[in-house]
Amino acid sequence: MVDVVTANNRCNFSESLEAMHRDRKKIFVDGLKWDIPVVDGQYEIDQFDTEDAIYLLDLDAQRKRHLGSVRLLPSTGPHLLGSVFPYLCDKGVPVGDDIWEITRLCTAPAKDVEPRPVRRRIATALCEFGLLYGINKYTCVAHVQWLSSLLAVGWECEPLGEPRQVGDETIGAMSISITPATLQMFRNKTGSRTPVLQLQAIAQAA
Amino acid sequence: MIEVVTSRNALLYKDALHDMFHLRHRIFVERMGWEALRKSDRLERDQFDTDDAIYLLLTEDDGKVVGTHRMLPTTKPHLFSDVFPNLCAVKGVQRDEKILELTRTCVDEEVLDRPTMEKARKRLMVGLFEFCLRGGYEKFTLLTPTDLLFRYLLIGLDIKPLGMPVDMDGNKQVAVIVKVDQQALDVMRMALGVPETQVHYVGAPQGDRLVLAPDGAQQRPLEAAE
Amino acid sequence: MQMTNSTFEFIEQLDCQTDIPSLINSFQSLIGKFGMACFMIGDPTRPKMQRDDRLWATTWPQDWLNHWLSQNYISVDPVINQLLARNEPILWRETRSANDDTGSKIFNEATEFHMTDGFALPIYSRDGFVVGITMGTDHYELGKQDEACLHMASIYFHAKLERLRAESAPKPRGPRLTPRERECLSWVAAGKTDWEISQILSISEQTAHEYVQNALIKLNATTRAQAVAIAIFTKQILA
């Protein structure tokens, strides 16, 4: 099951979020050598890990262990593409209530975690979340190679501009459309017919 | 697990809803012989299966639907208001935002073996109380066989008749209203032997902000979230 | 409609009933409005049980009840037999048969107590046994609607009666002892010491002591005598 974690129910997930930040440090800082902030020498936390961020956390059955996660930011607020990489978009940064940004997609680096099913669950959860909350497009910043693998998996992707050399890497911006057909495609792969998404705590918006 | 499906999250339950309508056709039309409901696509849906309907779907681990309830808001057209008002002749048709009408309860009698079927019925009943309690509904109305009425009275539920019993489908049935509160849920859990939380609710936006619906046993009060 | 309203009033005020005698009065007063003289409710299917367990409540005339019980009519009364066999509401008169001498005798005798006809209903009980309710009158003139009213009232009456009976039944107090704890405590009751118990049961003195102490803790007793008393009272050991 993939939990939706927002500012309102975060207190129920403090352990899992800590584990997520630890895993993110191992993956993005230690592994991929990204030059991003590290807190207390063990947590990767940046300026976008704010109250506005929503996390989809894939947790084990006891809802303790972090198996994988993704961070979602509204395009209407500060987000990576808009604040750091606007030049990756040839026709301006897409902004709208129905557009959210995907960042820090990862699976736990632990040896006993098989990444494939985790990625599938998170992909399915992204579709479900999108359909549920009226999100038509996700945007993201990624390696060029990644674009082709996303297309291969079956996502409906579209580049937002020419890829650029940033440091040692070539990165580009893209948008991903979410439709009921996208969800169906992932459901067919996993054979599941009911949502993987779950909303645990009460968050009453006034 | 019991999934709660409303018009808000129905997009996530396309297959499950299809399975449910098919299950209803298999049970109500093909097994129980409600011929008036027969459909060529073998999906049993009527004029009350609208955006206002709330479905509880009992699913197995692989997501297969093996049981269902349909709940209709009593402030909108429902069976007692539009089709069977005579069954509520004594106390009148109940209409209130806090009252739902329960119809189309069934489990998959063709697929489940007997013990699993009994368990499924019990889980559905407990899930119903869980859902109502969490959704803020205080009562529900339904048409029930008098034999079942007795059984639920005996375990201590507050059930009141709305009209006189009638002969229907070969047995005596009576329109009743059932009170839902924490005590009723506890009593049901104990009497039916279903201690675990059954209901899984995937919420949806309300207005322009996210309203996340409560789910799961670790539910915390609102203050704790702040 | 007036009968229907009386029935619904009876059902609605059941929540306020807290004791069996006033519940019986209230039901009796309801059936009186339908012209019924008296009723009996019970579980006739378990003949080995004590009389109290088979006969739950009745307003039958005392003389008739005594006679009915002393003659063991519970086993031969045609109304009860038909109720069990047919498992649906029946009129007394439907059970009369010229070939049934005992039945005819019972009917004739009942007439002397102003019961010439009546109405009987089966109701499923908690454990699947049939519980029957039967009511008699010397002047039967119920319509279908009246019978439906009495049927529904009977269901509610029966459920409430069973709940009140369950509440008033003596409940086993506290947690149950294990067979070994019961055994040791029985010897304590017989005045044996831990050492003597250990010899009798071929266990160590320490183990015997632990069984007895566990029993004390479970029964929430401070002394061995108190533990024995509680265990006897809750029927976990023999007096």
In the structure, what pLDDT confidence band is assigned to residue A61 with cuts at 50, 70 and 90? confident
Largest CA distance in chain B: 55
Give the DSSP H/E element, type plus range, for residue A55: strand A54-59
C84 and C103 inside one domain: yes
Q: Is residue B223 part of a domain?
A: no
For A106-141, give the secondary structure using H, E and C.
EECCCCCCCHHHHHHHHHHHHHHHHHHCCCCEEEEE
Q: What is the mean pLDDT of chain C?
A: 84
User: Which residue in the set B16, B209, B219 is minimally distant from A202, CB to CB?
Assistant: B219
CA atoms of B199 and B201, how far apart (whole Å): 6
Q: What is the mean pLDDT of chain B?
A: 86
Task: Give Cβ neighbours of residue B134 (< 8 Å, ≥ 6 apart).
Answer: B199, B201, B214
Least confident range of A32-36, A101-105, B42-46: A32-36
Q: Is residue A51 part of a domain?
A: yes
CA atoms of A144 and B145, how far apart (whole Å): 65
What are the chain B neighbours of C126 within 8 Å (beta carbons)?
151, 154
Name the DSSP letter for residue C171. Answer: P
> Are B212 and A8 an interchain contact pair (Cβ–Cβ within 8 Å)?
yes
Reported as a single tens digit per residue, the pLDDT across B9-38 is 888 899 999 999 999 999 999 999 999 999
Other beta carbons within 10 Å of A40 = 9
C98 and C186 inside one domain: no
> Are B146 and C5 an interchain contact pair (Cβ–Cβ within 8 Å)?
no
Q: Does A184 touch chain B (CB under 8 A)?
A: yes
Q: Among C168, C203, C219, where does a domain finish?
A: C168
Tracing tokens 């049961």 back to the chain, one arrives at C201
Chain B residue with Cα closest to A125: B12
What domain range is A38 assigned to?
Answer: 2-198
Chain B residue with Cα closest to C123: B147
Tell me, what's the pLDDT at B98?
Answer: 94
> Are A133 and B205 an interchain contact pair (Cβ–Cβ within 8 Å)?
yes
Tracing tokens 């948008």 back to the chain, one arrives at A175
Q: Is residue C174 part of a domain?
A: no
Tell me the CATH number at B16.
3.40.630.30
The token pair at A57 is: 């956390």
C199 and C106 inside one domain: no
- Nearest Cα neighbor of C189 from C222, C225, C213 is C225
Count of structural domains within chain A: 1
What are the chain C neighbours of B172 within 8 Å (beta carbons)?
151
What are the chain A neighbours of B209 within 8 Å (beta carbons)?
205
The token pair at C220 is: 């929430």
Query: Average pLDDT in the A122-140 region?
Result: 93
Q: Among C118, C138, C168, where does a domain finish?
A: C168
Of the two residues B141 and C213, the one the predictor is more confident about is B141
- Pairs of residues, one from chain A and one from chain B, whose beta carbons lie less than 8 Å apart: 109
Q: At what angle do helices C194-201 and C205-219 cross, to 10 degrees?
A: 110
C141 and C195 inside one domain: no
Of the two residues B66 and B200, the one the predictor is more confident about is B66
Reported as a single tens digit per residue, the pLDDT across C80-124 is 888 878 778 889 988 888 788 888 888 888 888 888 899 998 877
Contact present, C160 and B159 (Cβ < 8 Å): no
The token pair at B22 is: 């098919």
Reported as a single tens digit per residue, the pLDDT across B35-65 is 999 999 999 999 999 999 999 999 998 889 9
- Residue B128 pLDDT more than 50? yes
In the structure, what pLDDT confidence band is assigned to residue B77 with cuts at 50, 70 and 90? very high
Query: Average pLDDT in the A32-49 region?
Result: 92
What are the chain B neighbours of A12 within 8 Å (beta carbons)?
218, 220, 225
User: B159-161 and A38-39: which strand pairing?
Assistant: unpaired
Q: B residues 29-58 near C, CB within 8 Å? A: none
Of the two residues A90 and C49, the one the predictor is more confident about is A90
C158 and C223 inside one domain: no
Chains B and C touch (3+ CB pairs under 8 A): yes
- Pairs of residues, one from chain B and one from chain C, whose beta carbons lie less than 8 Å apart: 41
Q: How far is CA C144 from the centre of its chain?
A: 29
In the structure, what pLDDT confidence band is assigned to residue C170 with cuts at 50, 70 and 90? low
Q: What is the mean pLDDT of chain A?
A: 89
- Nearest Cα neighbor of B164 from C151, C29, C122 is C151
User: Which residue in the set C8, C123, C163 is minimally distant from B90, CB to CB?
Assistant: C8
C63 and C41 inside one domain: yes
Task: Give Cβ neighbours of residue A66 (< 8 Å, ≥ 6 apart).
Answer: A16, A19, A20, A23, A57, A58, A59, A108
> Are B150 and C163 an interchain contact pair (Cβ–Cβ within 8 Å)?
no
User: Which residue in the set A184, A191, A199 is minimally distant from B62, CB to CB?
Assistant: A191
Give the DSSP H/E element, type plus range, for residue A103: strand A99-107
Query: Average pLDDT in the C188-215 region?
Result: 88
Chain C residue with Cα closest to B173: C152
Tell me, what's the pLDDT at B204?
Answer: 43
- Whole-Å CA distances, C31 to C27, C38, C153, C177, C201: 6, 8, 9, 47, 62
Q: Is residue B37 part of a domain?
A: yes
Tell me, what's the pLDDT at B206?
Answer: 37
- Whole-Å CA distances, C220 to A120, C112, C179, C226, C229: 56, 57, 18, 9, 12
Task: Map residue A180 onto helix, strand or coil.
Answer: helix
Q: Is residue C239 part of a domain?
A: no
Q: Is residue C112 part of a domain?
A: yes
- Residue A142 pLDDT more than 70? yes
For chain B, give the secondary structure using H, E and C.
CEEEECCCCHHHHHHHHHHHHHHHHHHHHHHCCCHHHCCCCCCCCCCCCCCCCEEEEEECCCCCEEEEEEEEECCCCCHHHHCCHHHHCCCCCCCCCCEEEEEEEEECCCCCCHHHHHHHHHHHHHHHHHHHHHHCCCEEEEEEEHHHHHHHHHCCCCEEECCCCEEECCEEEEEEEEECCHHHHHHHHHHHCCCCCCEEECCCCECCECCECCCCCCCCCHHHHC
- Nearest Cα neighbor of A163 from A175, A154, A171, A151 is A171
> Are A11 and B15 an interchain contact pair (Cβ–Cβ within 8 Å)?
no
> Are B153 and C159 an interchain contact pair (Cβ–Cβ within 8 Å)?
yes
CA atoms of B125 and B141, how far apart (whole Å): 14
Of the two residues B199 and B123, the one the predictor is more confident about is B123
> Are A128 and B202 an interchain contact pair (Cβ–Cβ within 8 Å)?
yes
CA atoms of A76 and A73, how far apart (whole Å): 8
Q: Does B145 touch chain C (CB under 8 A)?
A: no
| Burial bucket for residue A152 (CB in 10 Å: 0-12, 13-18, 19+) | exposed
> Are C152 and B164 an interchain contact pair (Cβ–Cβ within 8 Å)?
yes
What are the chain B neighbours of C123 within 8 Å (beta carbons)?
150
Contact present, B173 and B165 (Cβ < 8 Å): yes
Tell me, what's the pLDDT at B207?
Answer: 31
> Are B11 and A132 an interchain contact pair (Cβ–Cβ within 8 Å)?
yes
Rounded percentage of chain B residues whose pLDDT exceeds 70:
89
Q: Is residue B69 part of a domain?
A: yes
Of the two residues A192 and C26, the one the predictor is more confident about is C26
Chain C residue with Cα closest to B91: C8
C144 and C214 inside one domain: no
- Residue C144 pLDDT more than 90? no
Name the DSSP letter for residue C170. Answer: P
- Residue B212 pLDDT more than 50? no
Tell me, what's the pLDDT at C10?
Answer: 96
What are the chain A neighbours of B1 within 8 Å (beta carbons)?
194
Count of structural domains within chain B: 1
Q: Is residue A97 part of a domain?
A: yes
Sign of the dihedral through C-alpha C88, C94, C95, C99: negative
In the structure, what pLDDT confidence band is assigned to residue C51 with cuts at 50, 70 and 90? very low
Q: Does B153 touch chain C (CB under 8 A)?
A: yes
Contact present, B149 and B176 (Cβ < 8 Å): yes
C30 and C60 inside one domain: yes
Q: Is residue B195 part of a domain?
A: yes
Reported as a single tens digit per residue, the pLDDT across B169-211 is 778 899 999 999 999 999 999 889 888 888 877 764 333 234 4
Tell me, what's the pLDDT at A140?
Answer: 95
What domain range is B66 assigned to?
Answer: 2-217
Chain B residue with Cα closest to A193: B63
> Are B63 and A131 an interchain contact pair (Cβ–Cβ within 8 Å)?
no
Tell me the CATH number at C202.
1.10.10.10
User: Which residue in the set B62, B215, B220 is minimally distant from A198, CB to CB?
Assistant: B215
C101 and C129 inside one domain: yes
What domain range is C38 assigned to?
Answer: 2-168
Q: Amino acid identity of B67?
A: G
Count of structural domains within chain C: 2
In the structure, what pLDDT confidence band is assigned to residue C171 with cuts at 50, 70 and 90? low
CA distance A174 to chain B (A): 25
Chain B residue with Cα closest to C6: B90
What are the chain A neighbours of B133 within 8 Å (beta carbons)?
none
What are the chain B neighbours of C163 within 8 Å (beta carbons)?
154, 156
C39 and C133 inside one domain: yes
- Residue B226 pLDDT more than 80? no
Tell me the CATH number at A26.
3.40.630.30
Q: Is residue A204 part of a domain?
A: no
Helix-strand-coil percent breakdown of chain A, rounded to 5? 35, 30, 40
C119 and C228 inside one domain: no
What are the chain C neighbours of B178 within 8 Å (beta carbons)?
none
C46 and C139 inside one domain: yes
CA atoms within 13 A on the CB side of B198: 30
Q: A residues 33-92 near B, CB within 8 Å? A: 54, 63
User: Which residue in the set C11, C145, C149 is minimally distant from B160, CB to CB?
Assistant: C11
The token pair at B67 is: 């049981």
- Residue B217 pLDDT more than 60? no
Tell me the CATH number at C97.
3.30.450.80
Q: Is residue B209 part of a domain?
A: yes
Task: Give Cβ neighbours of residue B16 (< 8 Å, ≥ 6 apart).
Answer: A193, A194, B3, B5, B57, B59, B63, B65
In the structure, what pLDDT confidence band is assigned to residue C239 with cuts at 50, 70 and 90? low
- Nearest Cα neighbor of C54 from C38, C68, C41 is C41
Beta-ladder partners of C128? none
Other beta carbons within 10 Å of B89 = 15
> Are A205 and B12 an interchain contact pair (Cβ–Cβ within 8 Å)?
no
What are the chain B neighbours of A180 within 8 Å (beta carbons)?
11, 14
Reported as a single tens digit per residue, the pLDDT across C53-85 is 677 888 988 888 888 888 888 778 888 888 878
